A and B are shown apart, each in its own frame.
Chain A
């Protein structure tokens, strides 16, 4: 991250949001809202004194509420750029008009309480969407797992934060209820995923592997701890993944139990996990100090809205759809917009890196040429016939048609780089003023009648030129 922030060809806009995207490949006009961070980025030296002096603590989003941050903060120590932001919802000055401790101690004079949101309009050649993922709010759906009532039922991401040496527990695995080290830890896979009744039907993809990693790390952090893993199927299909699972089972003694968990309840200061061992055909109960849920990977809450803003299609779960699942896996149907990472499908780090690299290479493919090669089969407007009703503008799924003027008369105009040649406008136009190049009516009829003509054998089917 630091390296890319120093590259002269890379400009990073953090704490900013894409508000509107117009235009087309090579000419995307993007409206970006740069939110007011209340700190002047050109003056701030990143010394961190303001964060030290700020008297107000807020639960840290980065640490999932396990630790705290200040009202002026960077999300984590390595964040780029190393410039803090004032959280106006928790800052005493913004709430009550008093304090200004950060301003007082800032040697660079970088604090600016009056800063306002800034709107930037810029043109881009291509867009890569990498908005990431979020986790299913399991507390809403799983009353049988305590619906968040039990402090010692956590998610894999909580454990991940605990395992971080610079994290809220300093790298220690503890029970949130009493701070003790857990000796018996139950991992529950497929919480929310593969659940048509309450969650999402798809496989979350990454949980099998990170659960095995957690089982291994648990043993390394707490050598006398025992890991139990409830799974339905282990999906370890990539290079060395199966060996990794076996390592967790054989070398680290993780007990894998094939079956789902039906209920978790508190008994004294421990938790009872009621599961099944479907291989033995019997129910099973395990007393645990800590339960770690592998919750389903789902899109960001505002993914659908972002999809609409970028005019890229998404499925019923708001996961972005690629142009072709096999042949164009990192492209969206809108030319010049590419997908990378979990916004497109749950995926692990190697795959996310691969899609990111692929999308970057695809972008280079566009930017390395002065001119773009287009599909031959695109719509064409006969302006003499066009009555300017603009019905085509409304039906075009790619927003490739705009209103134009010819001799002060309104007509529609096709933006060739956006047209995908779908033919919707051709079929809709009441004046039959739009044709698809290389696919017009007379050509289609010629193809149909060719086989029925007397000289049928001599006519090649399907060959025609515009």
Chain B
């Protein structure tokens, strides 16, 4: 194995996110403050380590990258100045791009529907999102009470609205896809 190969995963993450995971010295402050670490199969500091040692499969198949809420507590407190939330986001992108089957299909599906809706309308159509997600997760009536309440308070626009210049949003999607494909 050449030297380049040993660091290929770390370098890919660095290329896509501009964050150098090799700065991590395993203090564990990210895991300590993470509100969902308890439910993750590997802890955030272990994700950093696995990226460092090129352990692609274990990271990309983990539940951790999908359970991350991007609350950025880890990023704020990291003493090595690594934007960990951004690294997690990057790992999700790599995972989708490389066709890893998600360990958290419901979350992945939700993300997909969310992005689809943005791509189509330029902004989120909440009703479409909730209906499509309910269908996909086969839990049709689970959130119906909540949806009605939100409708009544005017938090959800029933028909949704479209943004004016939607082609430009689609361009952003296309460009970011090209960016990831180009790097990996």
Residues on A facing B (Cβ under 8 Å): 144, 190, 194-199, 232, 258-263, 274-278, 281-284
Task: List the B side residues contacting A283 at CB < 8 Å.
Answer: 31-34, 37-38, 43
* A to B CB contacts below 8 Å, 5 in the list: A194-B25, A196-B80, A262-B32, A276-B30, A283-B33
Contact assessment for B31 and A278 in the assembled complex, using a CB-CB cutoff below 8 Å = yes
Query: Size band of the B side of the interface?
Result: 20 to 34
Instruction: Flag the segment in B71-79, B119-127, B130-138 that touches A.
Output: B71-79
Measured between alpha carbons, how far is A232 from B38 in the docked complex, in Å? 20
Residues of B with C-beta under 8 A to A277: 28
| Residue picked from A144, A258, A262, A282, most chain B C-beta under 10 Å | A262
**CA of A258 to CA of B30, assembled, Å:** 13
In the complex with contacts A263-B33, A281-B43, A281-B46, A275-B79 CB distance below 8 A: no
Confirm or deny: B81 has a beta carbon within 8 angstroms of a beta carbon on chain A. Answer: yes
Q: Does A196 contact B28, Cβ atoms closer than 8 Å?
A: no
In the complex, what residues of A have CB within 8 A of residue B37's CB?
276, 282-283
Chain B: CB-nearest residue to A283: B37
With A232-B27, A276-B43, A281-B42 given, is the CB distance from A262 to B79 under 8 Å? no
User: Can you list the 8 inter-chain pairs with the closest CB atoms, starting with the nearest?
Assistant: A262-B33, A259-B28, A262-B32, A276-B28, A276-B32, A276-B31, A278-B28, A195-B79
Query: Given the complex of chains A and B, what is the CA–CA distance between A284 and B31 in angstroms?
Result: 9
- 9 more A-B contacts (CB under 8 A) besides A197-B81, A232-B27, A276-B30? A144-B77, A196-B80, A196-B81, A259-B31, A262-B73, A278-B31, A278-B43, A283-B37, A284-B32
- Tell yes or no: B26 within 8 A of A by CB: yes
**What residues on B are CB-neighbors of A232 within 8 Å?**
25-28
Whether B33 lies near A197 (C-beta < 8 A) is no
- Give A282 to B28 CA distance when docked, in angstroms: 9
CB contact between A278 and one of B26, B77, B79, B81 (< 8 Å): that residue: B26
Interface residue B45 (Cβ < 8 Å from any Cβ of A): yes
Chain B hits for A281, CB < 8 A? 31, 42-43, 45-46
The answer on a CB contact under 8 Å between B81 and A261 is: no
B29 touches A276 (CB 8 A): yes
Nearest to B76 among chain A residues (CB) is A144
Nearest-CB residue, chain A, relative to B82: A197
Which residue of the partner chain, among B43, B77, B79, contacts A196 with CB atoms under 8 Å? B79
Of the candidates B31, B73, B79, the one whose C-beta lies within 8 Å of that of A194 is B79
Known: A199-B79, A282-B37. A260 touches B43 (CB 8 A): no
Contact B38 A198 (CB under 8 A): no
B7–chain A nearest beta-carbon distance, Å: 21
Tell me, in angstroms, the Cα distance from A277 to B45 when the chains sit together: 10
Please indicate the chain B residues that have their CB under 8 angstroms from the CB of A144 in the complex.
33, 77
